[in-house]
Amino acid sequence: MSDTPQKFGAVAMIGATNAGKSTLTNAMVGEKIAITSHKVQTTRFQIRGILTKDNAQIVLVDTPGFFKPRRKFDRAMIGAAWQALDDVEIVAFLIDASKPFDERKHSAYLEKIINATDVENRILILNKVDEAPKKRLLEIAGKINQACAFDQTFMVSALNGSGVDDIVDYCAKKIPDGEWVYEEDDLTTLPNKLLAAEITREKIYDRLHQELPYKIAVETEEYKPSDNGVGLAISQIVILENKKHKSIVLGKQGQTLKSIGSQARAELIQIFECPIHLNLYVQHRENWMDKDEAFDVFES
């Protein structure tokens, strides 16, 4: 048994929508534990990934992206993001470096980070650097560090893994000594029932990115061993606020929903490493995101 003391700590991933927080979380964990999409506001609640390397165990808190909230559900999403700054050792602020940096848009975020954290506990991560000229990267890093000093700045491509190990090494050294909370092979605290719903929601976005707004949800109604004792039987409801979208999700003779189910099932088989029997249903619920039941995910 090693005499090296164990280390334990948490890192909050924060930033605007589509900055690549979920992709980076997955890359650092080494497995997919958070869904990704080109759709804005894909992540709706805190998702915790667990990275164990050598003597260090790091909890990565993936958060909803910052955007201008318009309704109760939106405000809850933003609240979940800022709440992640509590009880973490490191705050990682992600920027999409492939886009021009908007100082005015980010000023409020940086001000909150300054008020909620100390310099030595925050890092800046410029993501998608493979899609940006070097001059722009240096300009962005300079402007942000001038407005809000960071302990260290990293330049990465979460999608191809470039620079990710540098962040892992930094976090492993930075977190304090402490006993591990999770088993060495644990990857996430997300319940399997909720993870299954997230995978299906991702496949809906992949298939219907242009046709549907983000106001769609998936609820796992049943998650249990199959009747024949082999694998899992999962039943899910696709919840729509707009009744007109039902025909889009179903497709002609139900073919679109069937295709979505097939893609979700294939990925769930990989994740859970067992046969999956998946049933999907579509349901219209008027103003669902303004009702209390929509906020159950924030309590998970």
Please indicate, yes or no, whether residues 101 and 202 belong to a single structural domain of this protein: no
Q: What is the total count of domains within the chain?
A: 2
Sign of CA dihedral 267, 289, 73, 83: negative
Residue holding tokens 């497709």?
251
**Model pLDDT for residues 64-94, shown as the tens digit of each residue:** 655 444 554 445 545 555 565 677 899 999 9
Please indicate, yes or no, whether residues 294 and 159 belong to a single structural domain of this protein: no
Residue holding tokens 């039943």?
235
Structure confidence at residue 298 (pLDDT): 39
Which is nearest to 11 in space by CA: 54, 78, 57? 57
Structure confidence at residue 214 (pLDDT): 60
Give backbone dihedrals phi and psi of 209, rounded to 5 degrees, phi first.
Answer: -55, -45
Please indicate, yes or no, whether residues 85 and 219 belong to a single structural domain of this protein: no
Please indicate, yes or no, whether residues 244 and 293 belong to a single structural domain of this protein: yes
Please indicate, yes or no, whether residues 239 and 277 belong to a single structural domain of this protein: yes
In a domain? residue 209: yes
**Model pLDDT for residues 27-55, shown as the tens digit of each residue:** 999 888 776 655 444 444 567 889 999 99
For the whole model, what pTM was predicted? 0.74
In a domain? residue 245: yes
Q: Which domain holds residue 246?
A: 192-299
Highest mean pLDDT among 23-32, 102-111, 154-163: 154-163
Domain boundary among 174, 202, 226: 174
pLDDT bracket for residue 278 (50, 70, 90)? very high
For residue 111, give the 3-state DSSP assignment. Answer: helix
Distance between CA atoms of residues 171 and 160, nearest Å: 20
Q: Residues 6 or more apart from 114 whose CB is under 8 A from it? A: 148
Structure confidence at residue 35 (pLDDT): 61
In a domain? residue 120: yes
At residue 165's C-alpha, the angle toward residues 3 and 186, to 5°, is 60
Burial of 235 by CB count in 10 Å (0-12 exposed, 13-18 middle, 19+ buried)?
middle
> What's the whole-number average pLDDT of the chain?
83
In a domain? residue 92: yes
CB atoms < 10 A from the CB of 52, how many? 20
Please indicate, yes or no, whether residues 206 and 165 belong to a single structural domain of this protein: no
The share of the chain scoring above pLDDT 70, in percent, equals 81
Please indicate, yes or no, whether residues 150 and 26 belong to a single structural domain of this protein: yes
Q: CATH no. for residue 56?
A: 3.40.50.300
In a domain? residue 185: no
In a domain? residue 29: yes
**Model pLDDT for residues 115-144, shown as the tens digit of each residue:** 888 999 999 999 999 999 989 999 999 999
Average pLDDT over residues 222-238: 92
Q: CATH no. for residue 214?
A: 3.30.300.20
Higher pLDDT, 262 or 47: 262
In a domain? residue 181: no
Please indicate, yes or no, whether residues 16 and 65 belong to a single structural domain of this protein: yes
Structure confidence at residue 107 (pLDDT): 82
Structure confidence at residue 212 (pLDDT): 66
